[in-house]
Chain A
Amino acid sequence: MPIFHALANPARFQKLARPLTPLCFWAGVALALFGCWAGLTRTPADYLQGETVRILYIHVPCAWLGMGGWSALALASIAYLVWRHPLAAVAARAIAAPGALFAGLCLVTGSIWGRPTWGTWWQWDGRLTSMLLLFFVYIAYIALSRADAERGGDGRIPALFGVAGTILLPVIRYSVIWWNTLHQGQSIGLTGSTIAPSMLWPLWFTLSGFSLFFAGLVLMRMRAMLARQKVEARMRRMAAV
Protein backbone atom coordinates (compact mmCIF):
# COMPACT_ATOMS: atom_id res chain seq x y z
CA MET A 1 0.00 0.00 0.00
CA PRO A 2 2.80 2.57 0.72
CA ILE A 3 3.80 2.38 -2.97
CA PHE A 4 0.30 3.59 -4.00
CA HIS A 5 0.48 6.46 -1.52
CA ALA A 6 3.90 7.40 -2.93
CA LEU A 7 2.55 7.27 -6.48
CA ALA A 8 -0.38 9.49 -5.50
CA ASN A 9 1.98 12.44 -5.82
CA PRO A 10 1.20 13.80 -9.34
CA ALA A 11 4.80 14.93 -9.99
CA ARG A 12 6.18 11.50 -9.06
CA PHE A 13 3.48 9.81 -11.10
CA GLN A 14 4.26 11.91 -14.19
CA LYS A 15 7.97 11.11 -13.87
CA LEU A 16 7.12 7.41 -13.91
CA ALA A 17 4.35 7.69 -16.54
CA ARG A 18 6.52 9.42 -19.15
CA PRO A 19 8.70 6.34 -19.97
CA LEU A 20 5.94 3.85 -19.13
CA THR A 21 3.41 5.25 -21.64
CA PRO A 22 5.26 4.37 -24.90
CA LEU A 23 6.57 1.14 -23.34
CA CYS A 24 3.09 -0.17 -22.43
CA PHE A 25 1.55 1.13 -25.65
CA TRP A 26 4.04 -0.30 -28.16
CA ALA A 27 4.61 -3.58 -26.29
CA GLY A 28 0.81 -3.96 -26.23
CA VAL A 29 0.49 -3.22 -29.97
CA ALA A 30 3.27 -5.72 -30.82
CA LEU A 31 1.84 -8.52 -28.64
CA ALA A 32 -1.73 -7.92 -29.85
CA LEU A 33 -0.68 -7.89 -33.53
CA PHE A 34 1.33 -11.09 -33.09
CA GLY A 35 -1.58 -12.75 -31.27
CA CYS A 36 -4.05 -11.72 -34.02
CA TRP A 37 -1.71 -12.94 -36.77
CA ALA A 38 -1.20 -16.27 -34.96
CA GLY A 39 -4.93 -16.59 -34.29
CA LEU A 40 -5.77 -15.99 -37.94
CA THR A 41 -3.08 -18.13 -39.54
CA ARG A 42 -1.44 -20.52 -37.06
CA THR A 43 -4.37 -22.25 -35.35
CA PRO A 44 -6.74 -24.94 -36.62
CA ALA A 45 -10.39 -24.18 -37.35
CA ASP A 46 -12.94 -25.42 -34.81
CA TYR A 47 -14.68 -28.70 -35.67
CA LEU A 48 -18.12 -27.14 -35.03
CA GLN A 49 -17.75 -23.41 -35.70
CA GLY A 50 -15.11 -23.64 -38.42
CA GLU A 51 -13.17 -20.44 -39.18
CA THR A 52 -15.62 -18.22 -37.25
CA VAL A 53 -13.94 -19.28 -34.01
CA ARG A 54 -11.03 -16.93 -34.86
CA ILE A 55 -13.16 -14.02 -33.56
CA LEU A 56 -12.33 -15.49 -30.11
CA TYR A 57 -8.85 -13.86 -30.16
CA ILE A 58 -10.32 -10.34 -30.14
CA HIS A 59 -13.72 -10.91 -28.53
CA VAL A 60 -12.32 -12.37 -25.27
CA PRO A 61 -9.73 -9.57 -24.72
CA CYS A 62 -12.48 -6.96 -25.36
CA ALA A 63 -14.74 -8.65 -22.77
CA TRP A 64 -11.81 -8.92 -20.33
CA LEU A 65 -11.02 -5.21 -20.69
CA GLY A 66 -14.67 -4.16 -20.49
CA MET A 67 -15.02 -5.96 -17.13
CA GLY A 68 -11.43 -5.47 -15.93
CA GLY A 69 -11.69 -1.78 -16.79
CA TRP A 70 -14.71 -1.37 -14.54
CA SER A 71 -12.94 -3.29 -11.72
CA ALA A 72 -9.98 -0.88 -11.99
CA LEU A 73 -12.36 2.11 -12.14
CA ALA A 74 -14.11 0.88 -8.97
CA LEU A 75 -10.78 0.32 -7.14
CA ALA A 76 -9.64 3.84 -8.08
CA SER A 77 -13.01 5.20 -6.89
CA ILE A 78 -12.61 3.39 -3.54
CA ALA A 79 -9.07 4.81 -3.22
CA TYR A 80 -10.48 8.28 -3.85
CA LEU A 81 -13.32 7.89 -1.35
CA VAL A 82 -11.07 6.45 1.38
CA TRP A 83 -7.78 8.36 1.00
CA ARG A 84 -8.93 11.36 -1.09
CA HIS A 85 -6.02 10.91 -3.48
CA PRO A 86 -6.81 13.28 -6.40
CA LEU A 87 -4.82 10.99 -8.71
CA ALA A 88 -7.26 8.15 -7.98
CA ALA A 89 -10.16 10.26 -9.30
CA VAL A 90 -8.11 11.13 -12.41
CA ALA A 91 -7.33 7.41 -12.93
CA ALA A 92 -11.02 6.46 -12.67
CA ARG A 93 -12.01 9.11 -15.23
CA ALA A 94 -9.15 8.08 -17.54
CA ILE A 95 -10.27 4.42 -17.49
CA ALA A 96 -13.92 5.15 -18.37
CA ALA A 97 -13.67 5.92 -22.13
CA PRO A 98 -11.32 3.01 -23.07
CA GLY A 99 -13.42 0.71 -20.86
CA ALA A 100 -16.61 1.80 -22.64
CA LEU A 101 -14.96 1.31 -26.03
CA PHE A 102 -13.87 -2.25 -25.24
CA ALA A 103 -17.24 -3.13 -23.69
CA GLY A 104 -18.84 -1.82 -26.92
CA LEU A 105 -16.38 -3.77 -29.08
CA CYS A 106 -17.14 -6.91 -27.05
CA LEU A 107 -20.84 -6.49 -27.89
CA VAL A 108 -20.15 -5.77 -31.59
CA THR A 109 -17.68 -8.64 -32.11
CA GLY A 110 -19.99 -10.96 -30.15
CA SER A 111 -22.90 -9.96 -32.37
CA ILE A 112 -20.81 -10.58 -35.52
CA TRP A 113 -19.76 -13.96 -34.08
CA GLY A 114 -23.37 -14.79 -33.17
CA ARG A 115 -24.80 -14.36 -36.68
CA PRO A 116 -23.03 -17.35 -38.35
CA THR A 117 -22.93 -19.40 -35.12
CA TRP A 118 -26.39 -18.92 -33.58
CA GLY A 119 -28.17 -17.59 -36.67
CA THR A 120 -28.98 -14.25 -34.99
CA TRP A 121 -27.20 -10.94 -34.43
CA TRP A 122 -28.72 -10.42 -30.98
CA GLN A 123 -30.57 -12.31 -28.28
CA TRP A 124 -31.84 -10.85 -25.02
CA ASP A 125 -30.14 -13.46 -22.89
CA GLY A 126 -28.39 -13.02 -19.54
CA ARG A 127 -24.79 -12.59 -20.72
CA LEU A 128 -25.51 -10.27 -23.66
CA THR A 129 -28.00 -8.12 -21.75
CA SER A 130 -25.77 -7.74 -18.67
CA MET A 131 -22.81 -6.75 -20.89
CA LEU A 132 -25.02 -4.19 -22.66
CA LEU A 133 -25.98 -2.82 -19.23
CA LEU A 134 -22.27 -2.48 -18.34
CA PHE A 135 -21.75 -0.48 -21.55
CA PHE A 136 -24.62 1.87 -20.58
CA VAL A 137 -23.20 2.17 -17.05
CA TYR A 138 -19.86 3.26 -18.56
CA ILE A 139 -21.66 5.93 -20.64
CA ALA A 140 -23.56 7.10 -17.55
CA TYR A 141 -20.30 7.32 -15.58
CA ILE A 142 -18.65 9.41 -18.33
CA ALA A 143 -21.64 11.80 -18.41
CA LEU A 144 -21.78 11.99 -14.61
CA SER A 145 -18.06 12.65 -14.12
CA ARG A 146 -18.10 15.35 -16.85
CA ALA A 147 -21.12 17.06 -15.30
CA ASP A 148 -19.50 16.84 -11.86
CA ALA A 149 -16.25 18.38 -13.15
CA GLU A 150 -18.12 21.18 -14.97
CA ARG A 151 -20.11 22.07 -11.87
CA GLY A 152 -16.95 22.12 -9.75
CA GLY A 153 -17.95 19.02 -7.75
CA ASP A 154 -15.48 17.16 -5.55
CA GLY A 155 -15.80 13.89 -7.51
CA ARG A 156 -17.54 12.01 -4.72
CA ILE A 157 -20.76 11.28 -6.68
CA PRO A 158 -18.97 9.70 -9.72
CA ALA A 159 -16.79 7.72 -7.28
CA LEU A 160 -19.87 6.35 -5.49
CA PHE A 161 -21.40 5.50 -8.87
CA GLY A 162 -18.14 3.73 -9.82
CA VAL A 163 -18.34 1.56 -6.69
CA ALA A 164 -22.08 0.87 -7.11
CA GLY A 165 -21.56 -0.26 -10.73
CA THR A 166 -19.48 -3.25 -9.58
CA ILE A 167 -22.75 -5.04 -8.81
CA LEU A 168 -22.93 -5.83 -12.54
CA LEU A 169 -19.62 -7.73 -12.61
CA PRO A 170 -20.77 -10.90 -10.77
CA VAL A 171 -24.03 -10.77 -12.77
CA ILE A 172 -22.04 -10.86 -16.06
CA ARG A 173 -19.67 -13.51 -14.71
CA TYR A 174 -22.35 -15.90 -13.44
CA SER A 175 -25.09 -15.11 -16.00
CA VAL A 176 -24.23 -18.25 -17.98
CA ILE A 177 -24.70 -20.36 -14.82
CA TRP A 178 -27.76 -18.61 -13.33
CA TRP A 179 -29.78 -18.51 -16.55
CA ASN A 180 -30.20 -20.86 -19.48
CA THR A 181 -28.48 -18.67 -22.07
CA LEU A 182 -27.57 -18.89 -25.72
CA HIS A 183 -24.04 -17.78 -24.84
CA GLN A 184 -21.70 -20.65 -24.13
CA GLY A 185 -20.62 -21.42 -20.56
CA GLN A 186 -17.28 -20.50 -19.06
CA SER A 187 -14.44 -22.05 -21.07
CA ILE A 188 -11.43 -20.40 -19.39
CA GLY A 189 -11.07 -20.43 -15.60
CA LEU A 190 -8.37 -20.17 -12.96
CA THR A 191 -7.98 -23.95 -12.85
CA GLY A 192 -7.79 -24.57 -16.60
CA SER A 193 -9.52 -24.32 -19.94
CA THR A 194 -11.82 -26.45 -22.06
CA ILE A 195 -10.27 -25.00 -25.25
CA ALA A 196 -7.63 -27.18 -26.95
CA PRO A 197 -4.07 -25.86 -26.30
CA SER A 198 -3.41 -25.76 -30.06
CA MET A 199 -6.19 -23.13 -30.35
CA LEU A 200 -5.69 -21.39 -27.02
CA TRP A 201 -2.08 -20.15 -27.13
CA PRO A 202 -2.55 -16.99 -29.30
CA LEU A 203 -5.22 -15.83 -26.86
CA TRP A 204 -2.54 -15.27 -24.17
CA PHE A 205 -0.75 -12.92 -26.58
CA THR A 206 -3.88 -10.93 -27.46
CA LEU A 207 -4.97 -10.82 -23.79
CA SER A 208 -1.61 -9.49 -22.56
CA GLY A 209 -1.24 -7.23 -25.63
CA PHE A 210 -4.69 -5.64 -25.29
CA SER A 211 -4.12 -5.20 -21.53
CA LEU A 212 -0.80 -3.38 -22.05
CA PHE A 213 -2.37 -1.28 -24.83
CA PHE A 214 -5.20 -0.38 -22.42
CA ALA A 215 -2.65 0.60 -19.74
CA GLY A 216 -0.87 2.81 -22.30
CA LEU A 217 -4.17 4.52 -23.18
CA VAL A 218 -5.02 5.12 -19.52
CA LEU A 219 -1.57 6.63 -18.89
CA MET A 220 -1.99 8.95 -21.92
CA ARG A 221 -5.40 10.11 -20.73
CA MET A 222 -4.17 10.61 -17.15
CA ARG A 223 -1.23 12.69 -18.39
CA ALA A 224 -3.60 14.82 -20.50
CA MET A 225 -5.95 15.42 -17.54
CA LEU A 226 -3.08 16.30 -15.18
CA ALA A 227 -1.58 18.72 -17.73
CA ARG A 228 -5.01 20.37 -18.21
CA GLN A 229 -5.42 20.70 -14.43
CA LYS A 230 -1.96 22.31 -14.26
CA VAL A 231 -2.89 24.83 -16.99
CA GLU A 232 -6.20 25.68 -15.27
CA ALA A 233 -4.48 26.17 -11.89
CA ARG A 234 -1.84 28.40 -13.43
CA MET A 235 -4.46 30.47 -15.30
CA ARG A 236 -6.38 30.95 -12.04
CA ARG A 237 -3.20 32.07 -10.24
CA MET A 238 -2.37 34.48 -13.10
CA ALA A 239 -5.90 35.90 -13.06
CA ALA A 240 -5.74 36.42 -9.30
CA VAL A 241 -2.47 38.45 -9.51
Chain B
Amino acid sequence: MTFSATFLETIVYGALIWCGISALGLGALLVRDIARGESW
Protein backbone atom coordinates (compact mmCIF):
# COMPACT_ATOMS: atom_id res chain seq x y z
CA MET B 1 0.00 0.00 0.00
CA THR B 2 1.43 3.37 -1.00
CA PHE B 3 0.61 7.02 -0.45
CA SER B 4 -1.09 8.43 -3.54
CA ALA B 5 0.17 11.34 -5.62
CA THR B 6 -2.94 13.27 -4.61
CA PHE B 7 -2.13 12.81 -0.93
CA LEU B 8 1.44 14.01 -1.47
CA GLU B 9 0.18 16.98 -3.47
CA THR B 10 -2.31 17.87 -0.73
CA ILE B 11 0.22 17.85 2.10
CA VAL B 12 2.88 19.72 0.09
CA TYR B 13 0.62 22.52 -1.15
CA GLY B 14 -1.27 22.51 2.14
CA ALA B 15 1.96 23.01 4.10
CA LEU B 16 3.17 25.82 1.85
CA ILE B 17 -0.17 27.67 2.02
CA TRP B 18 -0.37 27.08 5.78
CA CYS B 19 3.10 28.64 6.16
CA GLY B 20 2.07 31.67 4.11
CA ILE B 21 -1.04 32.22 6.24
CA SER B 22 1.03 31.82 9.42
CA ALA B 23 3.45 34.55 8.36
CA LEU B 24 0.56 36.93 7.60
CA GLY B 25 -1.11 36.03 10.88
CA LEU B 26 2.00 36.73 12.95
CA GLY B 27 2.43 40.09 11.26
CA ALA B 28 -1.20 41.03 11.91
CA LEU B 29 -0.91 39.92 15.53
CA LEU B 30 2.12 42.14 16.08
CA VAL B 31 0.34 45.16 14.57
CA ARG B 32 -2.60 44.51 16.92
CA ASP B 33 -0.32 44.16 19.97
CA ILE B 34 1.58 47.35 19.11
CA ALA B 35 -1.69 49.26 18.62
CA ARG B 36 -2.85 48.12 22.06
CA GLY B 37 0.56 48.81 23.65
CA GLU B 38 0.89 45.11 24.54
CA SER B 39 3.85 44.00 22.43
CA TRP B 40 6.16 43.85 25.50
Mutual binders A and B: no
Q: Which A residues are closer than 8 A to B by beta carbons?
A: none
- Residues of chain B at the chain A interface (Cβ within 8 Å): none
